[in-house]
Chains A and B, each alone.
Chain A
């Protein structure tokens, strides 16, 4: 389809033309915060919550909730982009940056180039370590100054805002370093393996 058919009578109702440098192709801005999950929202008890960094069978570091709160905290303001076409601007998140997690286990750099995020409910997603270092990724525990609501991934979600938001896995419990890339959950159901919204990498083959 080189020349798309014109939809007679269809016109933009949005006033976001001035923001085009912030809105990736095919996205629209919402002020709401839609919820998309493959299954029920898990109810997670903070007393039993742990977060771990893992390499093959080894646990590089593991933190209980209070310990995790004791790690250096970072706050970022960022735009987020969901593959279902909505984008939300200027969202504020607080948590522990991936760089600080590596430091907490005395690593100067990622030991393997790929990472699988494992979550409550069995969800997984794969992300290159390069997309998390240098302040690009964090484990977020607060949204807009409050604990992240469970439906939005609380108590803790991976946040990789420069990729489509399914990569920012909800209810994350473990990051596992991998020598070779593997597909996570949506990646094995036809979604793009990398998911860069600026290249509109929505689905496999984009």
Chain B
């Protein structure tokens, strides 16, 4: 690992130098494997947040309470440390400039990571493909990549960045103040007749909701690509 960036109180980005890296597409993920001194190993998947053009492979990791791997990555890992990494993996939840647009990405919490790779890829290439990000966070402090997203949107008239804060909002907050719903998606996302390429990533229930609202609005289910993570939110077991 080359460098750590503190994104929020629970999220860090790990900039990795990967020997023999063959390159990746925005949206793909890697498997990492940690080995303990006693030989115990644990594997997990993480989305790549950096664009293919970047010299490092960046993983943005949220610390999961009682997790096994993420607390280690977020709290313990130091620059210079090594671990095994395999990838890139996944060829479906990807977006490239060549696929065209308009591009609509909808993120919940740390689900922003693979979508950020797409926005960074688009930005790096100075693409004029119309794009919109709708990003749901609990509080302003939980917004990952906030400064970078603001800067990107300021210099790029073809990119719209829209935030919603679901739990707590500062008084001066000008974005939405509720969970994403059908009317918010109708206002923010490109209409179905523009056949946007849609990517939704976040916690399971978030993705279930957002993707069903998008279908309700008339978007073709096949145009909506999803990536879900975390618990289902059912009754605690």
Contacts and interface: CB of A to CB of B under 8 A. Distances in A.
Interface of A: 1, 4-14, 26, 28, 31-43, 84-85, 121-122, 151, 185-186, 189-190, 202-203
A4 B232 contact: no
B35 A4 contact: yes
B68 A41 contact: no
A8 B211 contact: no
Given A4-B41, A7-B36, A35-B228, 13 more contacts: A5-B84, A7-B34, A7-B77, A9-B76, A10-B72, A34-B204, A35-B208, A36-B228, A37-B226, A39-B211, A41-B212, A121-B221, A121-B222
Given A7-B35, A10-B76, A38-B226, A190 B89 contact: yes
Contact of A85 (B43, B221, B228): B43
Nearest to A11: B36
Q: Main secondary structure on chain A at its contact with chain B?
A: loop
B33 interface: yes
Contacts of B221: 39-40, 42, 121
A34 B234 CA distance: 10
A125 B177 CA distance: 41
Contacts of B234: 32-33
Contacts of A41: 208, 211-212
A41 B206 CA distance: 12
A84 B204 contact: no
Contact of A28 (B68, B76, B211): B68
* A-B complex: 7 closest residue pairs judged by Cβ atoms: A40-B211, A189-B91, A5-B82, A4-B35, A7-B34, A32-B231, A12-B40
28 contacts: A4-B41, A6-B36, A7-B35, A7-B72, A8-B81, A10-B36, A10-B42, A10-B76, A11-B40, A12-B36, A13-B68, A26-B41, A26-B43, A28-B42, A28-B68, A32-B231, A34-B230, A37-B228, A38-B225, A40-B211, A40-B215, A41-B208, A41-B212, A85-B43, A85-B44, A85-B45, A121-B222, A186-B92
Counting chain B residues whose Cβ lies within 8 A of the other chain, the interface size class is 35 or more
B24 to A, nearest CB: 12
A32 B225 CA distance: 23
A10 B35 contact: yes
Interface of B: 31, 33-38, 40-45, 66, 68, 72, 76-77, 81-84, 89-93, 204, 208, 211-212, 214-215, 221-222, 224-226, 228-232, 234, 237
Contact of B68 (A12, A26, A38, A40): A12
A4 B36 CA distance: 10
A42 B92 CA distance: 18
A39 B40 CA distance: 35
B215 A14 contact: no
A34 B205 CA distance: 10
A185 B37 CA distance: 39
A1 B84 contact: yes
A158 B204 CA distance: 21
A106 to B, nearest CB: 36
Contacts of B36: 6-7, 10-12
B118 to A, nearest CB: 16
Contacts of B37: 6, 8, 11
Nearest to A38: B92
A1 B35 CA distance: 12
Contacts of B222: 39, 121-122
Nearest to B77: A7
A33 B226 contact: no
Contacts of B215: 40
A32 B236 CA distance: 8
A26 B31 CA distance: 11
A48 B226 CA distance: 26
A7 B81 contact: yes
A153 to B, nearest CB: 13
A151 B211 contact: no
A132 to B, nearest CB: 25
